[in-house]
Structure 1
Amino acid sequence: MKLVLQVKLLPTLEQAAALDATLRRCNEAANWLSAEAFARRVTSRAGLQALAYGDLRGRGLSVQPALHVLRKVADAYTASQARAKARTCGKPGSQRYAKVPAKPITFRAEAAQPFDDRCLSWQFGATTVSIWTVAGRMKNVAFTGHPEHVELLARHRRGESDLLRRNGQWFLISTCEIPENEKNSRPEGFVGVDLGIVNLATTSTGQRHSGRRLNRRRAQDRKLRAKLQCKGTRSAKRRARKRAGSEARRTRDINHKISKSIVAEAQRTGRGIALENLGGIRERARLKKPQRVALHTWAFEQLGRFIAYKAERAGVPVVYVDPAHTSRECSRCPHIDKRNRPSQAVFACRSCGFVEHADLNASHNIAARGWRMWVCGARSVAPALPLVA
């Protein structure tokens, strides 16, 4: 399986200046090439190489960086055409769709630039890299990262690495091809996982990850964001961007911790994991405005992806079940009734009288459905998209 990892570079002032000049030179060349490609209607790699390879070399790029700029521009136009074809940019003829091919694609001055092994080498023992810059080959650029991530990079790194600058800090992002553990083909049952807002995740084994404190923090963030948007000054916009990055990192960190705990529990007990198929939940759910805000701003899909890819690494099978009526069905008897939920936290069956915490009851239903799917041979495939750890 593929896993994308990042390490943080620790350049000196002189090294940082060289990296900054390199990134700006590459993206300036990419913007020039993008304008030429748009004007001449040439967007393929071969066509761009025949058109502008010599000019890119004349702009101070060596062989490999010039080829990477060519590929970056060609891939950007290919992705733009694919989005237009899939109508993710609006319907043909609409004002939004018309903006897509109306001007050349542009690249930020700090946009990521790929480097292959010919212009970037790693020294994992010394935790340094040697990288090509416009000022020449620069050696002994220190980097740091989680020891586990550094070890994975040393053993399983494949292909190119991307250099980027984010909020004044330098990073290298690389892809690792990690061998999968042998999947457990005979699980002893399934851990059902019910995802929610009050309780972010509740498992059928009784593990509950409360979201009350986090939801209060998110409500404060929304109020502050609204104030900054109303103010509208440059400093307010800058602060809003900084806060948005902090919120995203906090969400990702929480989802990583929850998914790691769930997968570890399933692996320890020899079980699989059953998740609800929540595709299209935002369109199906009919909620009041405050509830819609909470539902639409929490990364349920990200948590599900994290659980899936961690389970794949650990060899834990994952199945996705139909979420219909999991919160209204009694886990003791098959009775389904809207009145079984007298409140958000309480489940009380109108047929057999069984009383349980509502999220725990739903997780038992999800676990039972997952086991039935497994017995019937309906296995799911965990997402294969690379994720940044």
Structure 2
Amino acid sequence: MKLVVQVRLLPTPVQAAALEATLRGCNEAATWVSRVAFEHGEFRNFALRRLTYEQVKSRWNLGAQAARHTIKKTCDAYATLKANLRAGRLGRPGSARYRRATQKPVAFRSFGAQPYDDRMLSWQIAGRTVSVWTTGGRMKNVAFTASVEQLATLALYRRGESDLVHRDGMWFLNATCEIPEAEPNTEPVDFLGIDLGIVNIATTSDSSWSFAQLGQFITYKARKAGVPVVHVDPAYTSRTCAECGHIDAANRVSQAWFACRSCGFVDHADRNSSRNIRARAWELWRRGAQSTAPAPPPKSVGGAGRRRSITASGARCAPVALATGS
């Protein structure tokens, strides 16, 4: 499975100036390539390379690999635009938004990310430095900072390209790593119920921890840790008392609070729901529910009265049970 490791570069002022000039040059070149592509109606990589490659190299002083990546970046941008248009994310054909997206060439920000391959970038993991190509020549001994886990991942699993990124005045490298998937652990020690909602993005059955990004990370996190996953029906979990099992719509006294009309149990509404999700996970597991790979999470949570849940189990890391909805 693919995983992106982000490390922060710590360039000197001279090195930072060279990186800045490099991103500006590459993105100016990409914007020019985009205009050529738009004028000729040619968005295929090799065909566009024939039209622009030599000028990109000479005009912006880009090396061969940098020129190829810049042209490919332009083609990828148009492929993304086409996919968004087809999916209706930019409005219907003829709408103002649709016309704005299709009637002019794609333009690149001055500090847009630039891909690097191993011919343009080399890592010295032990010394925490990189040697990186710039428009002013090869620049060595650019320091970076990373955790011990990140260093180990880079050393063992880094494969393919890395993106040079400038954000909020800081420099980063996003390195692509190929992580082997752990063997699924089919004997859970427990389930951790997590209720994904709207007011609180996520609430667990024991720590009230907010998982703002859990939904988008759950797929690869579960696979990386070897955590099996089963789907759980979360119907009525927000109305069911986690203590006595009494079900009543009136139990949900507000968006935030749950108060059982039968036994008087009071708890945070999302925490009560997450405990019910955890209990259902165990019930399904005892019935022999089959493990499945986690489905990609939705881009947004919520829906008209519908909820969806996922449960995951494992012994080597915290097992989880997820439910999305209001």
- For the superposition of Structure 1 and Structure 2, which TM-score range results when normalised by the shorter chain? 0.7 to 0.9
Q: Quick one: which amino acid aligns to residue 106 of structure 1?
A: A
2:56 is matched with 56
1:362 is matched with 273
Note the C-alpha offset of 1:382: 2.8
CA-based RMSD: 2.4
1:233 is matched with none
The CA deviation string for residues 233-279 of structure 1, in whole angstroms up to 9 with x for no partner, is xxxxxxxxxxxxxxxxxxxxx64xxxxxxxxxxxxxxxxxxxxxxxx
2:258 is matched with 346
Tell me the TM-score normalized by structure 1. 0.69
The CA deviation string for residues 132-187 of structure 1, in whole angstroms up to 9 with x for no partner, is 11111111111112222122112111101111211222111111111222211232
Q: Report the CA distance shift for 1:321/1:354 in structure 2 as closer, same or farther (over 3 A).
A: farther
Counterpart check, 1:114 vs 2:25: no
Counterpart check, 1:35 vs 2:43: no
Work out whether residues 241 and 265 of structure 2, in 8 Å CA contact, stay in contact via their aligned partners in 1.
no
Note the C-alpha offset of 1:307: 4.4
Work out whether residues 53 and 67 of structure 1, in 8 Å CA contact, stay in contact via their aligned partners in 2.
yes
Q: Report the CA distance shift for 1:10/1:342 in structure 2 as closer, same or farther (over 3 A).
A: closer
Note the C-alpha offset of 1:90: 0.7
Structure with bigger helix share is 1
Which structure 2 residues correspond to residues 58-207 of structure 1 after superposition, within 5 A?
58-59=58-59, 60-196=61-197, 201-204=202-205, 206-207=206-207
Q: Quick one: which amino acid aligns to residue 29 of structure 1?
A: A
Q: Quick one: which amino acid aligns to residue 157 of structure 1?
A: R
Counterpart check, 1:309 vs 2:220: yes
Q: Report the CA distance shift for 1:163/1:359 in structure 2 as closer, same or farther (over 3 A).
A: closer
CA distance in structure 2 between the aligned counterparts of 1:327 and 1:92, rounded to whole angstroms: 42
**What is the aligned-residue identity percentage?**
52
Match of 1:377 among 289, 304, 317: 289
The CA deviation string for residues 314-343 of structure 1, in whole angstroms up to 9 with x for no partner, is 222233433332110234666532112345
Aligned residues: 293
CA distance in structure 1 between the aligned counterparts of 2:274 and 2:122, rounded to whole angstroms: 48
Note the C-alpha offset of 1:16: 1.5
- Pick which of 8-17 and 365-374 moved more: 365-374
Note the C-alpha offset of 1:44: 0.7
CA distance in structure 2 between the aligned counterparts of 1:194 and 1:8, rounded to whole angstroms: 33
- Pick which of 306-315 and 51-60 moved more: 306-315
2:313 is matched with none
CA distance in structure 1 between the aligned counterparts of 2:100 and 2:111, rounded to whole angstroms: 24
The CA deviation string for residues 85-123 of structure 1, in whole angstroms up to 9 with x for no partner, is 111111122221122111000001111111100111011
CA distance in structure 2 between the aligned counterparts of 1:362 and 1:134, rounded to whole angstroms: 56
Q: Report the CA distance shift for 1:364/1:167 in structure 2 as closer, same or farther (over 3 A).
A: closer
- Pick which of 28-37 and 51-60 moved more: 51-60
CA distance in structure 2 between the aligned counterparts of 1:4 and 1:110, rounded to whole angstroms: 20
1:318 is matched with 229
Work out whether residues 15 and 141 of structure 1, in 8 Å CA contact, stay in contact via their aligned partners in 2.
yes
Q: Report the CA distance shift for 1:35/1:200 in structure 2 as closer, same or farther (over 3 A).
A: closer
Work out whether residues 246 and 260 of structure 2, in 8 Å CA contact, stay in contact via their aligned partners in 1.
no
Which structure 2 residues correspond to residues 225-236 of structure 1 after superposition, within 5 A?
none
Counterpart check, 1:45 vs 2:45: yes
Q: Report the CA distance shift for 1:356/1:379 in structure 2 as closer, same or farther (over 3 A).
A: farther
CA distance in structure 1 between the aligned counterparts of 2:98 and 2:183, rounded to whole angstroms: 46
Q: Quick one: which amino acid aligns to residue 163 of structure 1?
A: L
Q: Report the CA distance shift for 1:13/1:40 in structure 2 as closer, same or farther (over 3 A).
A: same
Note the C-alpha offset of 1:306: 3.3
The CA deviation string for residues 200-243 of structure 1, in whole angstroms up to 9 with x for no partner, is 64434x3333xxxxxxxxxxxxxxxxxxxxxxxxxxxxxxxxxx
Work out whether residues 199 and 208 of structure 1, in 8 Å CA contact, stay in contact via their aligned partners in 2.
no
Work out whether residues 184 and 228 of structure 2, in 8 Å CA contact, stay in contact via their aligned partners in 1.
yes
SS in 2 for 1:61: coil
Q: Quick one: which amino acid aligns to residue 347 of structure 1?
A: A
2:323 is matched with none
Q: Report the CA distance shift for 1:115/1:365 in structure 2 as closer, same or farther (over 3 A).
A: same
Tell me the TM-score normalized by structure 2. 0.81
Work out whether residues 332 and 354 of structure 1, in 8 Å CA contact, stay in contact via their aligned partners in 2.
no
CA distance in structure 2 between the aligned counterparts of 1:167 and 1:123, rounded to whole angstroms: 26
CA distance in structure 2 between the aligned counterparts of 1:198 and 1:76, rounded to whole angstroms: 35
